[in-house]
Structures are given as C-alpha cells and as structure tokens.
Amino acid sequence: MIKTDVVIVGAGPCGLFQVFELGLLGLKSHVVDSIRQPGGQCTELYPDKPIYDIPGIPVCTGEELTDNLMKQIEPFDCELHLNEEVTVVRKDGDASFFVETSEGTQFDAKAVVIAGGVGSFQPRHLRLPGIDNFEAKNLHYRVQNPAQFAGKKLIILGGGDSALDWVLELSNVASHITLVHRRDEYRAVDASVAKMRKLVADGKVDAIESAKATAAEMKDGAITALAIQPKDGEPVAVAADDVLVFFGLAPKLGPIAEWGLDINRKTINVDVEKFETSTPGIYAVGDINFYPGKKKLILCGFHEAALAAFAIKQQIEPDKKVRLQYTTTSPLMHERLGVDD
C-alpha cells in the first residue's frame, strides 16, 4: 500500500500540471494512466500537431508540451504508474481514500484528483461481421511479454506505429508473421514502413494490403485461421497461433462512472472555487469536469489545477492559512523547486 498525499487519475497535460501545483505547496502525488506514455490526448492523438494557445509558448507540438511538463515536474519526484487503469476509488474512513489499479497497485491518499480527460484510452476491438465484441483466447490487443510469441505463427492487424513496431520486434522471435492492413498506405513512420518492406522482400513477413479480416475459424475458443478479404478478389484463409490487433485507441469514461460522483453526460460536476466533485476530497480538473462556462482547453485545465491544489492543501491542513507565494521571489518555492536563491 503506497501512502501519499494525492493520487492523480490521468497523466494528460492537466494531470501533469496538477503534480506541479501540488508540489509547489509541498504535497506529494502519484499519477496513474492507462496508456503507456504521459501526455493524454496530446501524445496519443496529435503528438506532431502544433498548439498555438498555451500562454507564453507561441507554438509547440503535443509531444513538446508533454516533454516540457515532464521536465517542469522533475523537482517533485513524482511517480508515474503507466499502463495501469484506476479501477477503484473509495472513501476509507474520514480522512483518506483507497485507490486501486487494474494491476493491483494500491494507494492510501488524503485526496484524489481526477484528470481523466475524455476517459481512459482503450484498444479498439476486432469486429467480425455479425460479432461486435469478438473474443478468443489467443487474440491480443497489447503485448506484455514478447517471448510468449517465440516460434509462433502470427497475424498482426493494423497499419499504424504500434502494428509496425510489433511486426519489426516480433519478426525476431515469431516463426512467421502475416501483416494485414485495410489500406495500401501506412500511418506508421516512414522508417518503420521501410524496415517492414525489407522483411517482406526477405520473405520473413507477408503483407496483405487493402484487405480486412471477415471471419475466424475457431477450435476450443482459440482462433486457428482468419479469412482475409482483399478489396478485389477471393478471401484467403491465413492460419495463426496468435492474432494481434492494433487498431488504435478510443477513449471510454470507464470505471470513473462507478465512483458515485455526480456525472453529467460523461463529465463530472465540480464547483468553480475548489474544483471539488460531489464527494469531498475528490477533485476533477481538465476535460473531465463540468461547470457553467466550461471550455475544454489546456489553459483552462491549468488554472483549475492551480486552484484545486490550494483547496487540497487547505483540506489537508485545515488549521493553517495557505499563503500564496511567488515562484520568482519566495525562498520556500525555490527550496521546493530545487533552485538556488
């Protein structure tokens, strides 16, 4: 059980800036995110696109903003728990919360900040005609242990970075890989596409382009082959020991909806003084919250994070007045930031 002042749900820009604002006030936080990198929508949906409305930064990409936020929170020694979804948030006595993740990590926190954006990013599932949520025991949406595919015949579906990264990496361990992509152009970076084409030329990988899976042959709950339908022509049956699907990620509100909060159309109602939810001690900042006049902009989420931090400090130390101090001139701020006076 990890004891901490605050658990932050979501490592998007607002969750990361929340770490900073709490750190300035001397509070320690842990951040949990269900995806494998920090940055939320900025890195998941538009890493290379320019953002023009971050105050004081005329232009930066989603990835640059995330890198800078990560640099900004370095002094606070915050631990990021990536690839873990927060599944449970429960009041535990008067002054603390029990928080648990999909990987079994448990926290005892004095406050919780939900910075869950548009929800937790989940892999888009393979759908076959007539089956919405197709399941099989050898169907995978993420790779946790590449060694499990040693000597196996694999089908990899998808044409983005994840699909191609895994084609390249697993080509070293699998006995054979068939890559199936619904277009003839790939969304992955050019260097990965070039390496994949070289593996095809060397006969290590088959690539079936402009095609999709339309049916599965099954035995004992596992896929034995997929029918692959090219845009033109007859379907072909491709045998497989395992099937890996990388169709990108889509956000889902997910477990947040089950924490007993006042939910308003996939957002959480908060007040505009503390950004506190209907449960005292649980706050919500960024795209996930709602109040009259709410705008889903990063700069609005930053403001919310600053005010939520002051409210949390006051909640944790109710008998002390929380003083506003400038980072420019305050020796205490300098000490917390680790800069010399």
Q: Which residues bind ligand FAD (CB under 6 A)?
A: 9-15, 32-35, 40-42, 45-46, 51, 53, 85-86, 115-121, 254-256, 286-288, 296-299, 301
Considering beta carbons, is residue 121 or 246 the nearer one to ligand FAD? 121
Report the residue number, 149 or 251, with the smaller CB distance to ligand FAD. Answer: 251
Give CA separation, 11 vs 8, 91, 136, 146, in Å.
8, 22, 31, 26
Give the list of residues 6+ apart from residue 132 with CB closer than 8 angstroms, or none. none
The H-or-E segment that residue 314 falls in is: helix 298-316
Burial of 328 (0-12, 13-18, 19+ CB in 10 A): exposed
Minimum CB separation of residue 310 from ligand FAD in Å reads 19
Instruction: Pick between residue 258 and residue 317 the one whose CB is nearest to ligand FAD.
Output: 258
Min dist CB 150 to ligand FAD, Å, is 31
Least Å distance, CB 86 to ligand FAD, is: 4
Closest CA to 99 of 85, 114, 86: 86
Distance between CA atoms of residues 55 and 44, nearest Å: 22
Q: In one letter, which amino acid is 278?
A: S
Is the CB of 12 or the CB of 159 nearer to ligand FAD?
A: 12
235-248 burial string, b = 16+ CB within 10 Å, else e?
eeebebbbbbbbbb
Q: Nearest approach, Cβ of 285 to ligand FAD (angstroms)?
A: 7
Quote the CA–CA distance of 165 and 71 in Å, as a whole number. Answer: 27
Q: Minimal distance in Å, beta carbon 167 to ligand FAD?
A: 25
Task: Confirm if 34 and 121 have CB atoms less than 8 A apart.
Answer: yes
Question: Closer to ligand FAD at the Cβ: 11 or 168?
Answer: 11
Nearer to ligand FAD, 91 or 176 (CB): 91
Which residue's CB atom is positioned nearest to ligand FAD? Answer: 117
Q: Closest separation between CB of residue 249 and ligand FAD, Å?
A: 8
